[in-house]
Amino acid sequence: MASPGTRSGSPGGDGVPGPASGVRLRLARLAAALSQEQLAARAGVSRQAVAGIEAGRFDPSLHVALDLARALGRSVEDLFANPSFLSPTRALLVGPAGTTGPLAGVRVELAEVGERPVAFALSGDQSLRPGFVPASGRLTSTAGAGEPVLVEAGPPGQPAVVVAGCDPALGLLAGPLADLAPPRRLAWWPCNSAAALALAAAGLVHAAGVHLPEDGPGIGAVAGAELRRAGAEVIGFGAWEEGLALRPEVAAVGTDLAGLAQRGLRVVNREAGSEARHLLDAEIARAGLTGDDLAGYESEVRAHLLVASAVAAGLGEACVTMEPAAHAYGLAFVPLARETFQLVVPAATLRTPPVQALLQVLSAPTLRLELSRLPGYDATSCGQAVCTLSLEARLAGRRQPLGGL
C-alpha cells in the first residue's frame, strides 16, 4: 500500500503540493458519492491517507495521486495541479474592439487554430455571456492586440472549435460539441460580421459568422479579396428579421424614426461596422434625418442581446437588433429587413478535426430543433451548403455548390 507522500507545504518529490489540492480531492469524492473509506478501497490506499490529503496534512506521492485520480475518473491535473506550476505559452492575442492599452493580467480563452495558439482576451463585453466566460489562461505580458503574448496557460482542456460572430444563437453550439466523442469545447468570440471575416482571413478562427440582408449583396461581395483568393466554404446557420425594438409604451405611441426624433427619445446604437448600425443609418437617411437628429446615436453597444437589454433597462427607448433578441426582453418589434446568418469556413481549416466536428453538429437535427425554439428564429438553412467562395467564382459571377460535406 502506498504511503501518502511528503508533508504538506514542502516542495515534495512529485511537485503536487498544497491544501487546495486536498479541497479538490474532497469535492471530487463527494461528487462521486463516495466516503473516504470507499475511495480508499477503490484506489488501494489507506483511509488515513485520503483523510490526510483532504485535510492538507500530506501531499500525495505520484503513485497515490494516479491511483486516486483513476478511482475518481479524473485526471491528476484536475485534482492536484498547483496554479503556480502553470506553463507559459506564447500565443497571438486577439483583443476586444476599441481596446488600445496593455492587457496584462486579463483572462484569456486559449485555443489552437491551424496548430497556432491564439489567445482571445476576455475583457469588456467579450468576458460575459451573460455570466463570466471560463478562461483557460491569463496574460503575463503587456503586448497589445495582434501581437505575440505570453499566456499563463493550463491545465489543458478539451480541444476548441473557434467561431467568431454576433449571433447569440452561436452559444447553442456548446452543448452538442461537448456531446461529441471526443468532446470539443466551443470558443466563441462575439464580434460583428466585418471583424469576424477579418479574423477568418488572418487564420485566427475556424469559422466566421456573417449576417447580411437577404435581398442585398451576397457573401462574396463582402468577404474580401484575401478570403476569396484563399477559398472558403459558406454554410447556412439561420435567418431572422432585423428591425426596430422599442419599449412597449413607446411603441404604443408610434414606431417610426421621425416620431422618435421629434419626441427626443433616445436610441441605443450598435458599433460602427455592424450590420445593425448600417441598417439604422439607411433608415435614418430614408426618413430624411441625420444621426445628430437622434439622441443616443453616438452610443455603441457590441451585441444583439446587450443592446436589447439596454433598452429594456430604460437606458434608451429603441434600438436596432434581431427579432429573437427583442422577444427575449419583451420589447415591441418592427421588422426592417430579413437577414441571413452564415458561417464562412476558410478552405485551409475545412478538413481539420475542429471544423469536421463543427460540420457534424451543424448537420444534426438536434441543433436545428434547438434553434427553431427561439422565437423569431428560422433554422431552415442550418447545416446547408450555401456556396464555395473563391476569386474565380466571384469573377465569373456564379455560386458553386459545396462538395463532400
What's the confidence (pLDDT) of residue 19?
61
Omega prior to 182 cis, within 30 of 0: yes
* Pairing state between β 332-346 and 385-389: unpaired
If asked whether residues 276 and 249 sit together in one domain, one would say: yes
What's the confidence (pLDDT) of residue 16?
43
What's the confidence (pLDDT) of residue 130?
62
Q: How far apart are alpha carbons 160 and 204 in whole angstroms? A: 12
Domain count, the chain: 3
Domain closes at, from 106, 134, 157: 157
Angle, CA 185 vertex, CA 172 and CA 303 arms, to 5°: 45
If asked whether residues 209 and 96 sit together in one domain, one would say: no
The Cβ of residue 307 has, within 10 Å, a number of other Cβ atoms equal to 30
Strands (E), 323-369: 332-346
pLDDT averaged per 10 residues, the chain (length 405): 39 46 88 93 94 88 90 85 67 74 77 89 73 80 70 75 95 94 92 92 95 80 83 95 95 90 95 92 95 95 93 96 94 95 94 95 94 94 90 42 38
SS3 assignment, position 314: coil
If asked whether residues 195 and 205 sit together in one domain, one would say: yes
> Which amino acid is residue 9, in one-letter code?
G
> Is residue 2 within 8 Å of residue 48, measured between CB atoms?
no
> Is residue 45 within 8 Å of residue 1, measured between CB atoms?
yes
If asked whether residues 80 and 174 sit together in one domain, one would say: no
If asked whether residues 34 and 119 sit together in one domain, one would say: no
If asked whether residues 219 and 143 sit together in one domain, one would say: no
* Residue span of the structural domain in which 364 resides: 159-405
Q: How far apart are alpha carbons 56 and 72 in whole angstroms? A: 19
Residues in Cβ contact with 313 at an 8 Å cutoff, skipping those fewer than 6 apart? none
What's the confidence (pLDDT) of residue 210?
94
Q: Is residue 1 assigned to a domain? A: no
What's the confidence (pLDDT) of residue 396?
41
Lookup result for grid cell 474532497? 26
If asked whether residues 238 and 113 sit together in one domain, one would say: no
Q: Is residue 340 assigned to a domain? A: yes
Lookup result for grid cell 462538395? 403
pTM above 0.85, yes or no: no
What's the confidence (pLDDT) of residue 154?
64
Q: Is residue 3 assigned to a domain? A: no
> Is residue 164 within 8 Å of residue 358, measured between CB atoms?
no
> Is residue 196 within 8 Å of residue 370, measured between CB atoms?
no
What's the confidence (pLDDT) of residue 398?
41
Q: Is residue 8 assigned to a domain? A: no
Closest CA to 275 of 210, 327, 196, 205: 210
What's the confidence (pLDDT) of residue 82?
65
If asked whether residues 250 and 393 sit together in one domain, one would say: yes
Q: Is residue 13 assigned to a domain? A: no
The CATH number linked to 108 is 2.40.340
Lookup result for grid cell 483583443? 95
If asked whether residues 252 and 129 sit together in one domain, one would say: no
The CATH number linked to 356 is 3.40.190.290
Domain closes at, from 157, 182, 200: 157
Q: How many residues does the chain have?
A: 405
Check residue 317 and report its DSSP letter. Answer: S
Residues in Cβ contact with 74 at an 8 Å cutoff, skipping those fewer than 6 apart? 28
Q: How far apart are alpha carbons 134 and 146 in whole angstroms? A: 22
